[in-house]
Structure 1
Amino acid sequence: MEKRKSSVVIAGGGSTYTPEIVATLVNNLDRLPLRKVVLYDNDEERQNKLAKACEIIVKEKDPAIEFLATVDPKEAYTDIDFCLAHIRVGQLPMRELDEKIALRRGVVGQETCGPGGMAYGMRSIDGVLENIDYMEKYSPNAWMLNYSNPAAIVAEATRRFRPNSKVINICDMPIGIEQAIADIAGLNDRKDMDIRYYGLNHFGWWTKIEDKDGTDLLPKVVEWVKKNGYITKDEIEDPQSEASWSDTYMKAKDVVALDPTTLPNTYLKYYLYSDYVVEHDNPEYTRANEVMDTREKDVFSACKQIAERGTTKGSYLEITNHATFIVDLTVALAFNTKERMLLIVENNGAIENFSADAMVEIPCIVGKDGYEPLAMGKIPTFQKGLMEQQVACEKLVVDAWEENSYLKMWQALTMNKCVPSAKVAKDLLDDYIEANKEYWPELK
């Protein structure tokens, strides 16, 4: 029996990750047959830098697939089955401000963690909700797979303001770490493992790593991470990662020391070793600058080459594993595969001793009707305390957005573990208000 063909819109079509998402989709047509691929962005000039190359990527695989790049939401969202959403409100120049404003106050400057992530969250909420509304208006039966950052704040906003919408919030970061764990454990692929994990987005812990025979691999991997972080043997012998990512993977050796019975998400370094992060970051040249000077230029240049040549042959466009989890999730929804995946979902008792309305990141079983969270039981005091503080910050940010509340945003920044005092929090808030006049609601 021939599989039903799906129609997909990529919201945030101007993202440098769009070409590899398109390539991953068409490289998996045996799993997810497609009839239409649409790019949608409100920045036509930026999207056009990628669109022709994406069309060629699609047509080389299957000329019958309809391809469209548009800035018209009606055209984008009509007759679609899935929206893959990775919008970035304010683009990289605003990310640069998020990071540098914090660092100049001696505070962690990172796009999703700390005050920079909270500023980004205030910009993102309206854009994500707008795209949900477009989808529901023009294709009410479609699913949105939302991996727009900062995922934790965005997920809380979708829970609160669009509780009945067909939206699944996801993040690819654990997938990359799981592949490193698989390499360390001597396995070929992360899918050769059975795992248990709980936490918040960019804020969690693996508590079980087993191979398919049930062999406990956690102690072996922990011992490696204590010495080398998540840097694999191959990477030690032949370093290829960007310096900032190598440092993040290496710093996991200090994070794991706080609980050697688990394996941590690498982003915990920003909260648990914020002094180290600030000391080793350059307030004049942040990760945003690194991305603009490397990835952004490389991807646009590669897409220009593909468009000019009319073929992907000989292209240096790099296709990574960034998008594989998106395809896995889409396939699970389309064909009821019951795949086990990490999602960001309302807790509702999955973590027994944690807030029911917190958006937690845990394993779920995914099928045609959505997801079923797996029970995690009770979690330890250390992790529970850290998570309660962080989820309160995230909820206060959404409160501030909803209520136009200066006080709530000040409270959110004050509570964040990366921020040393209420005074610094207020100074940061005033700086971010000035920088985000075009994007934030007016706080009173």
Structure 2
Amino acid sequence: MNKEELRAKALAYHKDGKPGKITVNASKPCETAEDLALAYTPGVAQPCLEIREKPETVWEYTSRGNLVAVVSDGTAVLGLGNIGPEAGLPVMEGKAVLFKRFADIDSVPICLGRVFNEKGRSDAAKIIETVERLEPTFGGINLEDIGAPACFEIEQTLKKRMNIPVFHDDQHGTAIISLAAIINALKVTGKKIEECRFVVNGAGAAGISCSRFYITAGAKRENFILCDSKGVIRKGRTDLTPEKAEFAVETEARTLADAIKGADIFLGFSAPNCVTAEMVKTMAPGPVIFAMANPVPEIFPDVALAAGAAVVGTGRSDFPNQINNVLGFPGIFRGALDVRAKDINEAMKLAASQALAELAAEPVPAGVKKVLAEAYPADAAAGMFDSKGGVNVNCVIPKPFDPRVVPRVARRVAEAAMKSGVAQLDIGDLDAYEKSVAERLGK
């Protein structure tokens, strides 16, 4: 559909019937006088008294254990930028829809106002103070669309102060998904992550956090060059934030075209059409390109492949290898909530990446193939889901509607939480747990 058709349909989707995309439904009946007496006064006093005497029973008598706050100040919304909390609310509602649809997690969108500095940007102290006060109500906090550099301080401070998982999806979601794709892309190219040269275009929350995460997974810091709107992040520049300065290098390269020469992996979190075929031809043999600017990528897959790229991914659903955060956060929070984790740590994030990487390499069962064929008819017609195992250039990451994704990610995340000591509940049989999550979501 063209832009005007998309605009009309999207506005109607959000406006028709009940405005917005979410509602609240009761999980218990409230149809009789007895129901009312149990749901509210006088019966509600009983769980209140139990929780006062035994605070840990809040998880038994309330919805807190399956409830996530989706928190934003609207300063870095999608590719729209600093549009404010009201304009960001449709995105947070959408996030709540995805939590419910993919992981059966209830969530509440919370868009914060009056948390800005004199320049209209995120005031970290105000957001931290506001969010930490939410802890008694929620089982987890999903930070969303909060601008850099404040987002780094906000997440790290809240993780230290709160005893529930705090996760900034713009930083870590893309990092987790793209690392899974890199793991499998390197199987295709026969390269090792510790030997690869990375060029990252875009040094905001996603670019910085992805680079840090790849280093955790084995990449070498000295093999990274990051670029922002002013060119290569290099020593000697006086306009760098502390996060950018962390990746400043001694180099003669000044532009993205300079930096990309000889690189094995390009990752884009930046602007449309900023990478050319000629630039791809200067990269190392068999390069991997993940061009994740939306809706128009840094380079289109057909152009990159024709120029010599071995594996290409984008953020779009109409091309192979979609790097989509919905592959991550639903399963990550499902696993974290189910073991009542106090944090989402590096071990849990790496486990999520490994789960996605291993799943993409597994044969596709007949039942799953049927689901995928309904969700992606063109891909099914092209034989994409006929794999008997192993990865290929068009499938280094699972599809978002693959019903195996959330159960597998939840399993690996829960397991990592238990092993790393942040879980408060123990799951004895992980095979049974993965199956139970699949059954829960199947209903």
TM score, norm. by length of structure 1: 0.27
Higher relative contact order at CA 8 Å, sep ≥6: structure 1 or structure 2? Answer: 1
Give the greater-gyration-radius structure (CA).
Answer: 2
TM score, norm. by length of structure 2: 0.27
